[in-house]
Structure 1
Amino acid sequence: MTNTNDMWEEASTFIYTCYEELGLCREAAEARLLDIQREIEDSGTYGHTQQELEYGIKLAWRNSNRCIGRLSWQSIRLVDARDAGSAEEVAECLFQHIRTATNHGKVIPLLTLFAPRTPEGVDPVRIWNHQLIRYAGYETSSGIVGDPASVAFTKEAMKLGWEGNGTDYEVLPLVIEIAGQKPVYVPIPKDLIMEVDIEHPDYPEMESLGLRWYAVPMISDMRLEIGGIQYPAAPFNGWYMGTEIGARNLADPFRYNKLPAVAKVMGLETTSEASLWRDKALVELNVAVLHSYRKNGVSMVDHHTAANQLAKFEEREAEAGREVTGNWTWLIPPMSPATTHIFHKSYSNQVKKPNFFHQPAPYTKNQDDNLPEKKFDQKEEANPALATCPFHG
């Protein structure tokens, strides 16, 4: 159940901040708050205006402590889908999100917003997927095929009737749950899915590994909170930072674990750790990822440029009189972190709102919906930098 006192306090803080930063007078903010107060008294909640939502999602990005790509926080676009009430309507909105965000590789930061949580605590819409586009994972007698991070969700999709092919890079269907109804799976049209085959400019043998990844990280399982209103379905995206794919998704031992295979095609000696074969393979895999995305015209940022962009963001925030908060363990890139300024400084991890919050997957039990951030888990995929922060994948 919603605590209306807390909602009112959160609404007041947000409206004053929003109106001030938009250059609107305090009298206008106070008049708006009177309307909000009446709404809360009458219904136990209130509705945001389009302007409030458009600025609220920008603030949520700016406040994302895990995101290295916050320099572009003002660029995110909003699609207001609060009226989508059926699984079919939600699916169509998600298809349009994928189409618009991908933009033939010129990625557009985008957030599609569905109906908020009711005063009774009911979520009108939930998207079960961690990301709108992600690869399936299958447990087999000889090990896991595909993405190990997707094994649990893949099982749930199959329980609903989806039939996968059991291959390494198979895109999962969307799973949509409407309040009071059974969840349904909806395959994503293949023409909406942009993928990149990974090749290396100097090691053509790497192409034989058949590595690939999807173009855009679109996070779909986080809860957005703006002014005390909870939006449990608010998929959003930025663009990838190369290391999220090359140093994590394809490289982590508990993900695709491709470093040994990369080392082999490079002809590296792997019998001794002192040869630093893992490091050499890691660098070249990341070179391949950056090269392949660039060759295919897909937006991506390297981790050094991303770190420089964060430094610029920090400068601009200081000029605006705002402290930059951050989660150091997530801001440092997973490759060569000591070569960036981030490694050598500290950040307050204070959580500001509006913001994105983790919430339990509908198919899991005994998880806490109120934690602003999970404790750092090395087995968890790095968030996307609107350059899966929440904004890189």
Structure 2
Amino acid sequence: MEILQRLLTATQVWEEAARFIRLFHRENPQAGDPGERLAAVREELAETGTYRHTAEELAHGARVAWRNSNRCIGRLYWNSLRVRDRRELTSGEDIAAECFEHLREATNGGRIRPTITVFAPDAPDRPGPVVWSEQLIRYAGYGDHPSVTVGDPRNRELTGALRERGWPGGPGTPFDLLPLVVQGSDDKPRWFDVPPDAVLEVPIEHPDHDHWSDWGLRWHAVPAISNMCLEIGGIHYPAAPFNGWYMGTEIGARNLGDTDRYNLLPVVARRMGLDTSSDRSLWKDRALVELNRAVLHSFDRAGVTIADHHTESRRFLSHMEREERRGRQVGADWSWIVPPISGSACPVFHRTYQDRQESPAYVHHPGAGDRARGRNLV
């Protein structure tokens, strides 16, 4: 059973719990001396093999996990994360409903709010629920080969598995919403259609070229990661979807531009009349910039929160300076922090970082990748 891989020994849980409780009290002096809380946690562990975080501990742990996310450039506002405590929920149906409510609240009419919803943790006698979907919002990918995929090739395998399990599919556009796949604590994985009112999508248009609107390009407003486990003080919350807001390059350079995703650079180049006969014409670079301009322009026009990579790079260095003034070192993975376009024009490029692993944290547990692709779903 995978839960056995996720659970720690009682000694390990106590060591992690003690470390976190001391961190919580150190960063929240109003909570008082940690001794009494540590004694209560030790007693609860001895009786049940686990312990329950207070609401304040849960909220602080989730926020610190964001602060510790080495691959995230947008950590300046880590302490503003809204924490929705739904630890009493274990059924797939209830979890799906709360995931959709998470999207509605996080969307906030376009003024995106960083939000996390935390469901039941793993326990010695019962696994916590799991969201199989990589993100709460994903687009289908139809077809058996990348060259003929309609939609997002990243989700081709999951789309096929869902159709084998009875999902009828959407109308066959490049942007059909996939169902959310959830596995309750005492259940098999099930799929749930995402309600249209839970998803805000932005039509992608170019500020200078009207014909872009004819393509029907769009992207969803809220990037909500849903298949990572939140680990706080030795307790694992395998279902804890969370979101910030997009940085434009995530959509324009990666989701729409990568060759194994929507691969739109050749299409953009042809529409712009660029010479694609040689890489030396830099047609890919020019198309990439225009695609990213279109994304930023479209989100701004729609009144939806989005960051550009230059601003976010400066914010990240501000975050580092702020944390260092408080005596905390900031870990970072350079390959993720440096934006995928104009890297050397961003200040984060000209730094080195330590890829230190701290706790609390958001982590991928064994099998997360296979679940996100729908393997063993049927």
Aligned to 1:128: 132
Residues 345/362 of structure 1: CA separation in 2 closer, same or farther (3 Å cut): closer
RMSD between aligned alpha carbons?
1.6
Cα offset for 1:344?
1.3
Which residue of 78, 83, 87 corresponds with 2:83? 78
Aligned to 1:162: 167
Cα offset for 1:182?
2.1
After superposition, residues 22-171 of structure 1 pair within 5 angstroms as 22-24=28-30, 27=33, 29-120=34-125, 122-140=126-144, 143-165=148-170, 166-171=172-177
Query: Which stretch of the first structure deviates more once superposed, 284-293 or 165-174?
Result: 165-174
Residues 16/25 of structure 1: CA separation in 2 closer, same or farther (3 Å cut): same
Q: Give per-residue Cα distances to partners, 1:356-389, cap 9 Å, x unaligned.
A: 0012446838xxxxxxxxxxxxxxxxxxxxxxxx
TM-score of the aligned structures, taking structure 2 as reference length? 0.93
Aligned to 1:264: 270
- Quick one: distance in 1 between partners of 2:19 and 2:74? 25
Residues 303/124 of structure 1: CA separation in 2 closer, same or farther (3 Å cut): same
For the 8 Å contact 1:136–1:169, the answer to whether it is kept is yes
For the 8 Å contact 2:112–2:304, the answer to whether it is kept is yes
Q: Which amino acid aligns with 2:139?
A: Y
Matched, 1:279 2:285: yes
Matched, 1:321 2:322: no
- Quick one: distance in 2 between partners of 1:180 and 1:158? 23
Q: Which amino acid aligns with 2:41?
A: I
For the 8 Å contact 2:144–2:156, the answer to whether it is kept is no
Cα offset for 1:26?
5.7
For the 8 Å contact 1:221–1:361, the answer to whether it is kept is no
For the 8 Å contact 2:86–2:120, the answer to whether it is kept is yes
For the 8 Å contact 2:91–2:187, the answer to whether it is kept is no
After superposition, residues 287-302 of structure 1 pair within 5 angstroms as 287-302=293-308
Which residue of 19, 38, 51 corresponds with 1:13? 19
- Quick one: distance in 2 between partners of 1:268 and 1:342? 31
Q: Provide the secondary structure at the position in 2 that maps to 1:70.
A: coil
- Quick one: distance in 2 between partners of 1:192 and 1:94? 9
Which residue of 157, 182, 186 corresponds with 2:188? 182
Q: Which amino acid aligns with 1:167?
A: T
After superposition, residues 191-270 of structure 1 pair within 5 angstroms as 191-270=197-276
Query: What is the percentage of aligned positions where both structures have the same residue?
Result: 48
Q: Which amino acid aligns with 2:93?
A: E
After superposition, residues 352-391 of structure 1 pair within 5 angstroms as 352-361=358-367, 364=370
Which residue of 343, 347, 351 corresponds with 1:345? 351
Query: Which stretch of the first structure deviates more once superposed, 277-286 or 181-190?
Result: 181-190
- Quick one: distance in 1 between partners of 2:144 and 2:228? 30
Which structure is higher in helix share?
A: 2
Cα offset for 1:167?
2.3
For the 8 Å contact 2:203–2:218, the answer to whether it is kept is yes
Aligned to 1:389: none
Q: Give per-residue Cα distances to partners, 1:277-306, cap 9 Å, x unaligned.
A: 110000010000000000001100000000
Q: Give per-residue Cα distances to partners, 1:152-184, cap 9 Å, x unaligned.
A: 221232232111133210111111111332221
For the 8 Å contact 2:227–2:368, the answer to whether it is kept is no
Q: Provide the secondary structure at the position in 1 that maps to 2:130.
A: strand
Residues 107/308 of structure 1: CA separation in 2 closer, same or farther (3 Å cut): same
Q: Provide the secondary structure at the position in 2 that maps to 1:134.
A: coil
- Quick one: distance in 1 between partners of 2:341 and 2:38? 47
Q: Provide the secondary structure at the position in 1 that maps to 2:197.
A: helix
